[in-house]
């Protein structure tokens, strides 16, 4: 009997870890810390019983402390969260506030989200910040333009990742650096998917945004003639995942389910593939297809969170200096 | 054969129509109009294909026009709504803006809701107004206190209805006029049910708030010692609708489904019963149980909408006068 040899296929592409991408931002943040004469304090509120949320909260806590920030995790009954948030808003010792959503799991969560003072909103979840994102407004204090607006952590992390991976082309004009790129985003939540699609389209990409209901296209037009993206609904038969995925340069997923797996067979060879869900949205065979594969992004996101925290402190210092004058 | 006589039971209570309750507010609004040297303009945006929404939009339009307001209904593609809202925000000829929600039917609607300028938000849906409601803040410009805050239309309409029906007891101190009243509210949406429960509890009632998930109690404590309401989750077996309903002085429903009917058998005789859903949440036999029955409230709500519109105009005039100084 002839011996059979199994050939394990070798990926042509690379898997890139979030920790690698996060490195310069972690350095930026720790460098920023040395310029302060105090240790910034971030407070996280946990008001659900989900053990996964608790683990995530502990992980963010450890990361913050290890980088030199003071972190306090407050366990609170969900019906007490509003009062606790107001206390933290008014507490001068607190520099940043985050909530581990979902709390109620419905639109009461949006009320709570808006309740976090924009001056302490490290995740950038306030309406003001989303509005500025959608409208490409970079500063909070036009026309002086000294205080920079905050971007929501995860969409911001994604932009930094795409820059690192070379998807943003620096030879193109600033603001058009995704021109020609087709990007599929599977998730259209208000927290990440929709703002992300808008951000990428504002930078020149053609974005296909998929959620369980339909497929939309975000674009500034074929020639980027529009100043800001437009959204159109696409025909779901003509623009199914099977048909769009093979056309895309980048595939980004954020499906919060362990059961969901993006169909590898529809990914063209060499695609940039990024998963921002805490669930694994791709099977391991994606490595045989993807040019660059980023299996998770949490470490980049948390560096953006701390970057936002420093920015909020800087904005406050600018405001206080102005008031003194 | 002896003839049988059918005795139709006669209700001991009364059915009160919204038009009756709305009358003084309609007069207040038309009186307020005569003091203006222009005809205020309300713009309504319709961005869904629901024929019921279209009918409702046409009805609000007709009511506005008949009372002396200028009303414009704008049909718009949902993906264009954001741009159109921004235009209306910036258009000096527009005094009030409303959107016929749902548009996307998910949290993108909350983004759009926040996008309506608070200065033109006749429905009182901005975070600022809900926040003021929850925290019993009555003015926008403390400590001067000249510009009154806006209350969301439907919860405000409900307070006016309960005042009309004598549920608010004027002999009690202002702010405590629902003391001793037990009120059941079936609906805990962010738009109506939850703010309504908070408003009523802030005025001294013990409110049982029911949604499909659970039952909560909103109260300032048995002795109203708290300045503002607290919320606790109740045991659902001990506090089922069957058990709570017979204890309540007032039952308010807002279930947006033609199939839902509140179980008449659990309503005690003489209860005040109000339905704010556009669906009929009670069978006709409720009239045999209810002390006062208000089958729908739309006409009161729209008078509150126009009252809010006049208040927004007044606030603007106060602001402009201040800026001139």
Cβ contact B107–A110 (<8 Å): yes
Q: What are phi and psi of A177, to 5 degrees?
A: -75, -5
B202-237 tens-digit pLDDT: 999 999 999 988 999 999 988 888 888 899 999 988
Tell me the nearest-neighbour CA distance from A110 into chain B, angstroms: 8
Task: Chain A: give the shortest CA distance to residue B128, in Å.
Answer: 9
Contact of B68 with B95, CB cutoff 8 Å: no
Is B153 part of the annotated catalytic residue set? Answer: yes
Tell whether ipTM is more than 0.90.
Answer: no
- For residue A212, what is the nearest residue in chain B, using CA coordinates? B106
Name the catalytic one among A153, A162, A210, A272.
Answer: A153
The mean pLDDT of B123-151, rounded to a whole number, is: 92
DSSP string, B235-281: -TTTT-HHHHGGG-SEEEE----TT----GGGSPTTEEEEE-SSS--
Does the CB of A111 have a partner CB in chain B at under 8 Å? yes
- Taking CB atoms and an 8 Å limit, are B110 and A115 in contact across chains? no
Are A231 and B79 an interchain contact pair (Cβ–Cβ within 8 Å)?
yes
* B127/A111 CB distance under 8 A: yes
Determine which of B130, B187, B190, B226 to mutate to test the interface with A (most A C-beta atoms within 10 Å): B190
The C-alpha of B126 sits at a distance from chain A's nearest C-alpha, in angstroms, of 10
Write out chain A residues lying below 8 Å of B79, CB-based. Answer: 216, 230-233
Residue pLDDT, tens place only, A301-316: 999 999 999 999 999 9
Distance from C-alpha of B325 to C-alpha of B323, rounded to nearest angstrom: 5
Is the pLDDT at B311 greater than 90, yes or no? yes
Does position A17 have pLDDT exceeding 60, yes or no?
yes
Q: Report yes or no: B124 and B196 within 8 Å, Cβ to Cβ.
A: no
Mean per-residue pLDDT, B151-167: 95
- Check if A227 contacts B (Cβ < 8 Å): no
What pLDDT is recorded for position A1? 47
Across all residues in chain B, what is the average pLDDT?
Answer: 93
User: What are the pLDDT digits (tens) for A179-214?
Assistant: 989 999 999 999 999 999 999 999 999 999 999 889
Residue B61 has pLDDT above 90, yes or no: yes
A interface test, pick of B110, B155, B216, B220 with most A CB neighbours within 10 Å: B110
The predicted structure's pLDDT at residue A158: 97
- Whether A269 contacts chain B with CB within 8 A: no
Our CA-based measurement puts residue A223 at a distance from the nearest CA of chain B, in whole angstroms, of: 20
C-alpha to C-alpha distance for B220 and B176, rounded to whole angstroms:
10
pLDDT at B1: 47
- Active-site annotation holder among B33, B43, B153, B158: B153
- Walk me through the domains of chain A, giving residue ranges and CATH numbers: 38-120 (3.40.50.10860), 154-299 (3.40.50.720)
The structure tokens listed for A275 are 């998963």
What is the DSSP code (8-state) at residue A148?
A: B
């Amino acid at each position: 009997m002839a011996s059979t040899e199994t050939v394990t296929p070798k990926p042509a592409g690379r898997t890139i870890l979030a920790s690698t991408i996060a490195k310069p931002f972690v350095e930026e943040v720790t460098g920023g810390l040395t310029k302060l004469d105090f240790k910034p304090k971030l407070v996280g509120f946990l008001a659900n019983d989900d053990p996964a949320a608790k683990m995530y909260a502990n992980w963010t806590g450890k990361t913050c402390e290890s980088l030199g920030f003071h972190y306090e995790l407050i366990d609170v009954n969900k019906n007490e969260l509003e009062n606790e948030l107001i206390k933290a808003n008014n507490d001068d010792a607190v520099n940043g506030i985050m909530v581990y959503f979902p709390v109620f799991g419905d639109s009461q969560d949006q009320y709570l989200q808006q309740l976090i003072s924009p001056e302490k909103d490290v995740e950038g979840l306030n309406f003001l910040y989303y509005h500025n994102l959608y409208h490409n407004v970079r500063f909070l204090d036009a026309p002086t333009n000294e205080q920079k607006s905050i971007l929501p952590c995860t969409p911001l992390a994604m932009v930094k990742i795409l820059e690192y991976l070379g998807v943003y082309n620096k030879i193109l004009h600033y603001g058009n650096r995704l021109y020609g790129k087709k990007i599929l985003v599977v998730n259209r939540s208000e927290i990440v998917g929709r703002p992300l699609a808008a951000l990428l389209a504002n930078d020149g990409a053609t974005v296909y945004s998929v959620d369980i209901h339909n497929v939309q296209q975000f674009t500034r037009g074929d020639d980027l003639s529009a100043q800001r993206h437009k959204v159109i609904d696409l025909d779901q038969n003509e623009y199914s995942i099977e048909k769009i995925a093979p056309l895309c340069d980048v595939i980004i997923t954020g499906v919060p389910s362990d059961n969901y797996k993006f169909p590898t067979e529809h990914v063209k060879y060499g695609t940039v593939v990024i998963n921002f869900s805490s669930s694994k949205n791709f099977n391991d065979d994606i490595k045989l297809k993807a040019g660059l594969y980023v299996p998770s992004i949490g470490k980049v996101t948390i560096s953006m969170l701390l970057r936002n925290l420093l920015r909020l402190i800087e904005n406050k210092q600018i405001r206080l200096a102005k008031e003194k004058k």
